[in-house]
């Protein structure tokens, strides 16, 4: 008999709108800085965020922006970007974000898919690269010290009672994109209710307090940053320490200067800090309660070595753009090698290939139903596919142990996760196969001490064109983003295939590992 998951544990009657969360934080007598930009020390309080979001609400109302209207923000991590993130949602419209480092054609297609009413962009970006004015109305929001662009016009406003778009708890607060397990990333539509369900999970699992100071250096364009830090910090009234990105050379200065209590990290950073240890690391990290680790596999050996070296807890978790925080360890209840117990509001089941629930301890595909789930996918052409209320097949394989901890054992579709970026082997195969000297290509993942996984690509070559690994590596650099370029490209005489004539990716990986032992 196949067990059926039903939506359970929906949001309790304690929903607080984004606008009211900001207002409550601003009215706290002990309210500290809300955000500190660790690159230069600039900061903003919850009172100032409340003021800026009220002014932004006036502007959006005058632009006839309403609930579910989509506003795209294109830019790097900054105080201004974060004000827009909170302010757009406080008003009740839909905040949309795209990674500006992706292929231009993908970015333009995503903009067209979103059909935004307004695009707020950092004019330091390359106009051609971001598809400037290809769709919608564009407005610059940057300009040092809030001096020009959108913030210059907002500064002249004196909104006291901000207007509201008239949104409902199930209206859409955000549209994000997956990192792309296929060549075309999926758009994911989030509601105010599911984002708050995720924030409540984080608040409780991490026991967040207003006194916490959370260091986040991952891109705001990642849904993971919203889920793990931005929303829960707002709910708790904590302080966000934000950087443009991770910097090994400045990391220690940030910790010493701003004394974070929590650091949000990825395995690549953990591995870097193992390869290049911090001098007096235990003393440097003395303010830190724990470091979270997600978005890619972290090997248990690295986990143990890190904790022994720095005497600090690593807390692993497992999330999805469309699924929320599927599972997470708690700082006081962890199991190394596990991603933790199912998240708040999650009903989880592990299924075999036939859809049957498997017993505890057996491996199968992870499936959940949850109030944390996004509402829907936004596909190319604007088609919407409902997620919420239906079982979500994660595509990941794993098992629940006797204590209820989830262990991830692999991926159903061979997706490679390099430094937190999901990479489809087929995308790399297709790119290399376009080279006139390549007959066939197969890409697979191998363990990597820094990035968690890395890419190897085997190709068979035409005898009519001179071809070597150097030429192919150069070609990859031209047609692929840096994060998706294979570490090794090798020319082979034959690519393994199964008895149906299909390329056998697993066999290729096994052969490579046999040939590269030691």
pTM: 0.81
Q: Output the domain CATH number for residue 449.
A: 3.30.300.30
SS3 string of 70-119?
A: EEEEECCCCHHHHHHHHHHHHHCCEEEECCCCCCHHHHHHHHHHHCCCEE
The alpha carbons of the chain give a radius of gyration, in whole angstroms, of: 23
Residue 100 lies in a domain: no
Q: 319 pairs with which residues across the strands?
A: 325
Q: Does the pLDDT at position 298 exceed 90?
A: no
Domain span at 504: 416-515
Name the residue with higher pLDDT: 355 or 504.
355
Of 244, 207, 196, 242, nearest to 76 (Cα)? 244
| pLDDT recorded at residue 68 | 94
Of 338, 213, 322, nearest to 330 (Cα)? 338
d(CA 167, CA 432) in angstroms, rounded, equals: 47
CA angle 429, 414, 96 (to 5 degrees): 85
Residue 497 lies in a domain: yes
Residue 336 DSSP symbol: T
Structure-block tokens of residue 231: 């929303």
Q: What is the pLDDT of residues 39-95, one digit of tens each?
A: 999 999 999 999 999 999 999 999 999 999 999 999 999 999 999 999 999 999 999
Q: What is the pLDDT of residues 347-402, one digit of tens each?
A: 999 999 899 999 999 989 999 999 999 999 999 888 999 998 889 999 888 899 99
Report the first-to-last Cα separation within the chain, whole angstroms: 47
d(CA 431, CA 473) in angstroms, rounded, equals: 12
Of 413, 510, 419, 435, nearest to 480 (Cα)? 435
Of 241, 261, 235, 237, nearest to 28 (Cα)? 237
Helices first, then strands: H and E counts in the chain: 15, 26
d(CA 316, CA 149) in angstroms, rounded, equals: 40
Q: How many domains does the chain have?
A: 1
Distance of CA 64 to the CA centre of its chain: 31
Residue 464 lies in a domain: yes
Q: Using an 8 Å Cβ cutoff, are 379 and 387 in contact?
A: no
Residue 64 lies in a domain: no
Distance of CA 137 to the CA centre of its chain: 27
Residue 227 DSSP symbol: I
Of 420, 485, 77, nearest to 271 (Cα)? 420
HSE at residue 196, side-chain half, CA atoms within 13 A, is 23
**What size, in residues, is the chain?**
518
Residue 34 lies in a domain: no
HSE at residue 473, side-chain half, CA atoms within 13 A, is 10
Residue 511 lies in a domain: yes
Residue 433 lies in a domain: yes
**Residues near 319 by beta carbon (within 8 Å), at least 6 away in sequence:** 224, 227, 228, 294, 295, 325, 326, 328
Of 384, 322, 378, nearest to 111 (Cα)? 378
Residue 67 lies in a domain: no
Q: What is the pLDDT of residues 180-193, one digit of tens each?
A: 534 467 899 999 99
User: Residue 443's CB: how many other CB atoms inside 10 A?
Assistant: 28
Structure-block tokens of residue 425: 């082997």
Share of the chain above pLDDT 70, in %: 93
Structure-block tokens of residue 271: 């591995």
Q: What is the pLDDT of residues 211-258, one digit of tens each?
A: 999 999 999 998 999 999 999 999 999 999 999 999 999 999 999 999
**Residues near 257 by beta carbon (within 8 Å), at least 6 away in sequence:** 38, 41
């Amino acid at each position: 008999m196949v067990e059926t998951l039903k939506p359970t544990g929906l949001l309790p009657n304690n929903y607080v709108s984004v606008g009211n969360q900001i207002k409550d934080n601003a009215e706290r007598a002990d309210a500290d800085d809300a955000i500190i930009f660790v690159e230069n020390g600039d900061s903003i309080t919850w009172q100032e965020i409340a003021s800026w979001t009220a002014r932004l609400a006036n502007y959006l109302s005058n632009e006839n922006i309403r609930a579910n209207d989509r506003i795209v923000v294109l830019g790097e991590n900054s105080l201004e970007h974060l004000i827009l993130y909170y302010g757009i949602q406080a008003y009740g419209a839909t905040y949309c974000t795209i990674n500006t480092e992706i292929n231009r054609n993908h970015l333009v297609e995503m903009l067209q898919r979103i059909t935004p009413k307004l695009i707020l962009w950092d004019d330091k970006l390359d106009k051609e690269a971001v598809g400037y004015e290809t769709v919608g109305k564009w407005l610059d929001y940057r300009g040092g010290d809030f001096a020009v662009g959108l913030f210059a016009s907002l500064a002249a406003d004196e909104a006291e009672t901000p207007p509201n778009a008239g949104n409902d708890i199930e209206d859409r607060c955000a549209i994000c994109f997956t990192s792309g397990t296929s060549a075309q990333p999926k758009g994911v539509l989030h509601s105010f209710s599911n984002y708050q369900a995720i924030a409540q999970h984080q608040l409780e699992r991490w026991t967040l307090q207003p006194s916490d100071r959370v260091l986040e250096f991952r891109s705001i364009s990642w849904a993971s940053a919203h889920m793990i830090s931005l929303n829960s910090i707002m709910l708790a009234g904590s302080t966000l320490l934000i950087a443009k990105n991770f910097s090994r050379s400045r990391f220690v200065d940030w910790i010493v200067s701003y004394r974070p209590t929590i650091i949000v990290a990825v395995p690549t950073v953990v591995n870097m800090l193992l390869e290049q240890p911090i001098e007096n690391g235990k003393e440097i990290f003395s303010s830190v309660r724990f470091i979270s680790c997600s978005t890619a596999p972290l090997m248990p050996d690295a986990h143990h070595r890190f904790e022994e070296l720095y005497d600090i807890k690593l807390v692993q978790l497992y999330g999805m753009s469309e699924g929320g925080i599927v599972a997470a360890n708690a700082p006081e209840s962890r199991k190394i090698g596990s991603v933790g117990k199912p998240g708040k509001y999650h009903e989880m089941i592990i299924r075999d290939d036939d859809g049957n629930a498997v017993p505890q301890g057996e491996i199968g595909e992870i499936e959940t139903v949850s109030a944390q789930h996004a509402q829907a996918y936004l596909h190319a052409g604007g088609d919407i596919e409902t997620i919420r209320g239906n079982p979500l097949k994660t595509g990941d394989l794993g098992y629940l142990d006797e204590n209820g901890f989830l262990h991830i054992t692999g991926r159903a579709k061979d997706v490679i996760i390099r430094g937190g970026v999901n990479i489809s082997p087929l995308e790399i195969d297709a790119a290399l196969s376009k080279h006139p000297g390549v007959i066939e290509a197969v890409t697979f993942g191998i363990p990597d001490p820094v990035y968690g996984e890395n890419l190897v690509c085997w190709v068979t070559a035409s005898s009519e064109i001179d071809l070597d690994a150097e030429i192919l590596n150069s070609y990859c650099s031209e047609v692929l983003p840096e994060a998706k370029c294979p570490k090794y490209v090798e020319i082979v005489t034959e690519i393994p295939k199964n008895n149906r004539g299909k390329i056998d990716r697993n066999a290729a990986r096994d052969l490579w590992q046999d040939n590269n032992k030691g």
